[in-house]
Amino acid sequence: MGMMKSKSVFFYSGIMIMLFLFSGLASSVQAADVKALLKDADKEIRQAERDMFGGKKDKAVAALETIKEKLLKIKEADPNNPTLKTLENKFTKLVKDLERRTGKDLGGGSLTAAGPSTQPKLPPQPEVKALPEQPAAAQEPTKTEKLPYHARGPISNAKNCLVRIDDYIQRLNDPKWNSKQALEGMDKQLELARENFKEGKAKAAEKGVTSHPDFDEIEKGILEAE
């Protein structure tokens, strides 16, 4: 009886050890999946930002659904991940910027509204056809949407500097990067963003443009970076 009892204890102990090891393995696999998803989502958000700044608005909008799906998977697997919050904020900002530039309702950057709801909400846009009846009101947006030619370069450079600051923020979480170098890089890009923004506004003012949505966007980005 004593021998059978010992074998039984040994058997159940072995099962518990196997379950523990399997649980640990599954956890590490999940962690690896989350890390890969974070990296992919960050890369895709930055590419969409570059497409938007480069005038490829439709391509940037098309990327939103894939980015959203990855963020939702991360949220489900690791809702308290600190990098997830950063990516959510970047995604929200990207969606709102695209909404302003395209005039479309893209869900405002909410993870529960930004993807599939995008397409159903677009059909009502034909209501814009009524605008020709009010030509004076219709022409105002085109005036504010187009920057003077010589102001576009500096303004684009300022936006790219802010994107690079986000890149440096991600590098702070990478042990392969020296945090001091990353911080120095952020300071340099912030200063360049200020200089290019100042130059762009001055060139725009020479042509009578003293306000523009891009100015508001860059000012907000500089404040966030600071």
Higher pLDDT, 142 or 164: 164
Q: Round to whole Å and give the CA distance between 194 and 183.
A: 17
SS3 state at 102: helix
What is the per-residue pLDDT across 126-145, written as a single tens digit (0 to 9) for each? Answer: 444 555 555 544 444 444 45
Higher pLDDT, 171 or 157: 157
pLDDT at 39 over 70: yes
Residues of the chain with pLDDT > 70, as a percent, come to 70
Q: Round to whole Å and give the CA distance between 110 and 8.
A: 54
Direct distance between the N- and C-terminal alpha carbons of the chain, in angstroms, rounded to an integer: 74
Q: Round to whole Å and give the CA distance between 168 and 83.
A: 13
SS3 state at 24: helix
What is the per-residue pLDDT across 178-220, written as a single tens digit (0 to 9) for each? Answer: 778 878 888 898 899 899 999 988 998 998 888 898 888 898 8
Contact 198, 215 (CB under 8 A): no
pTM higher than 0.85: no
pLDDT at 44 over 70: yes
